[in-house]
Amino acid sequence: MCGILGFYNLSIENDRLRAAVSSMQHRGPDNQQFIHFKEDQIGLGHTRLTILDQNERSNQPMTSPDGRYTIVYNGEIYNFRELKAKYNIETETTSDTEIVLKLFILQGTDFIHECNGMFAMAILDNEEKSIHIYRDRLGIKPLYYFHNGKSLAFASELNTLKILLPGLKVNKSVIPDFLQLGFIPSPYSWYSNVLKLPPGCCLIYSAKYGIEVTPFWELKKPGTGFQWTDEKRAKETLSALISSSIEYRLIADVPVGAFLSGGIDSSIVAAFAKKHSPGKLMTFSIGFKDTKYDERKYAEAVARHLGTEHTSYVYSEKDLINEVGSILDLYGEPFSDSSTFPTMLVSKIAREQVKVALSGDGGDEQFMGYNSYRWANRLSNPIIYNFRNFGASLLAMKGDNRSKRVAELLKIPDKQHFYQHIFSQEQYFFSDSEISQLMLSPGSATLLFHDNLDQAAQKQAYFDLKYYLPDDLLMKIDHSSMKHSLEVRVPLLDYRIVEFTQQLPLNMKLRNGQSKYLLKQVLFDELPQKLFNRPKWGFAVPLQRWLTKDLHYLIDDYLNETRINETGIFKFNVINELIKRFDNGDHYLYNRLWVLILVQMALTKGTETK
């Protein structure tokens, strides 16, 4: 795992280039280098976390023997040894970087179809004066790029681009989307002219032809093409795919461990990793002194059954609260997912013993693990949909927090906003109508994801795979782990598994009200079912309670009338009413206040470079 940056047709001095590379040292503390072709106004930089081939011969930027091609690369290609053998590639290192570079030289852009891994990479053709940039199929590794029509710059992190390009201006048009989703959806970012390269895409840039972004892989919609009907064969196939994926992701020249919460996804990853590990597998979990948020006993039970070398650490709420101020610095833009705080802490304890950890991300989105999928099914029922406004009025009259929440969920404006509305209300964010009332200038979320409502649960999950997973969950995993120089691999998001799960009928995912049906059948061949007879609980923190007490100062500091008027985005009277309702017991509004705080923080803490 590493950090990369580059630019084309920009005049940047070495001191600034060096500072930009240094800003990603946490992503690659083992080596930092850059190459600068001043006459051509081209530069590439890299920070290295050594996972394969500890020798300095594998440092980057890496240039081909003839000097024509140079690569900077963040991630891992897990099948690199097979590709080396298949194409009889002669190498001077044992790294996957050299295989990637030489495969590109052999095949051109088509090489990417053979690569199984997580990656953001850029290859400079010094002869053609062009840059080819690729991001992996599911968006596991981030890649931001700046383009203004004549110049290009890119980096693994927004903060690095801000060093390369002082003067970036906030793109205020993304604020409504952030208020509704809690993240900024691809391809947009917090800054004008700065975009996220979408998952599964290739960007080719040259001074002669300009920029072109094209997909090399696309996530197929569920219910299209071949569909599995034989449950036994489907289970055998899923088990084999998970086994293969995890065997790939244990390839490393450094110790590899696994996060273990005791839930379905992390447990199946740990179980298969234990089977394939040459030595004793190290597993890691954290807990909190607030027992409601402490799942250590479940993780420890799974670890005992598997016989892993388990490390469990207890944090206090103060430890978590101390991390809150770093969220804007970490992501470089507003990012609301509060589970980033425990993810940072478990990454910190894992990094003390390993350089690589496996995570169970991706299981919920593929196997119907969230309540939003059940709501999509319910609300797609024509009777419920047609009488949704009447039902919302009745529930709002009850007065308790749960009834008010469900009332908001029922207020779907129309079928065009069906999926993003369900997502926003399940996450306690603003609805489109609330955003219109909140903003001084007319504003509404621009993301539209609509389709007919057949198999609504599957399409709600497709929404999550397309947006929530890459722009929130995977961004969180990447930034939270790399803060502590830890590489996290996500075996359930091997693209072969995702292509397979898109071919599964709904009843192999959600059956008799129980989610993750087929995944659980595979798991229960490895671990006893009794270990998992409990309600699902996410990697949560008590943000609602914090905002009523320890973090209420953030409401006071960033949502007061003076600050609101200074930023000039929101109507203070609407925000003030939200705060009064929250303070008087409508605690389900906490995430609405949280996203407002983050926007206000970003606008007032100098993220708009002068």
Known catalytic residues are 2
Q: What does residue 195 show for φ and ψ, rounded to 5 degrees?
A: -125, 160
- Is 96 annotated to bind a ligand? Reply is yes
Tokens 């891994």: give the residue.
117
Tell me, rounded to whole angstroms, the distance of Cα 11 from its chain centroid: 32
Q: Supply 281's token pair.
A: 């597998």
Across-strand partners of 191?
Answer: 170
- Could you report how far apart the first and last alpha carbons of the chain are, in Å? 33
Report helix, strand or coil for 574: helix
Between CA 45 and CA 48, with CA 47 as vertex, the angle to 5 degrees is 135
Contact by Cβ (8 Å): 10, 151: yes
Q: How far apart are CA 3 and CA 44, in angstroms?
A: 11
- Is 167 annotated to bind a ligand? Reply is no
Burial of 14 (0-12, 13-18, 19+ CB in 10 A): exposed
- Is 206 annotated to bind a ligand? Reply is no
- Is 286 annotated to bind a ligand? Reply is yes
CA dihedral (251, 252, 253, 258) positive or negative: negative
Between CA 400 and CA 564, with CA 404 as vertex, the angle to 5 degrees is 110
Residue among 107, 143, 110, 104 nearest 124 (CA): 104
Burial of 232 (0-12, 13-18, 19+ CB in 10 A): exposed
Q: How far apart are CA 367 and CA 498, in angstroms?
A: 10
Contact by Cβ (8 Å): 152, 7: yes
Q: How far apart are CA 99 and CA 52, in angstroms?
A: 12
Q: DSSP character for 500?
A: H
Omega before 187 cis (within 30°)?
yes
Q: How far apart are CA 551 and CA 562, in angstroms?
A: 19
Tokens 């970087």: give the residue.
97
- Distances from the Cα of 537 to the Cα of 252, 291, 421, 532, 584, angstroms: 32, 12, 23, 11, 27
Q: How far apart are CA 201 and CA 231, in angstroms?
A: 33
CA dihedral (162, 163, 164, 165) positive or negative: positive
Q: What does residue 214 show for φ and ψ, rounded to 5 degrees?
A: -135, 145
In angstroms, how far apart are the furthest CA atoms of the chain?
74
Residue among 153, 164, 159 nearest 197 (CA): 153
Give one word for 108, left, alpha or beta, with left for phi > 0 and alpha for psi -120 to 50.
left
Q: 567 Cβ partners below 8 Å, 6+ apart? A: 600, 603, 604
Across-strand partners of 357?
Answer: 257, 488
Please state the three-class secondary structure of 17-59 as a single string. Answer: HHHHHHCCHHHCECEEEEEEEHHHCEEEEEEECCCCCCCHHHC
What residues are designated binding site?
A: 96, 286, 359-360
What residues are designated binding site for L-glutamine?
A: 96
What residues are designated binding site for ATP?
A: 286, 359-360
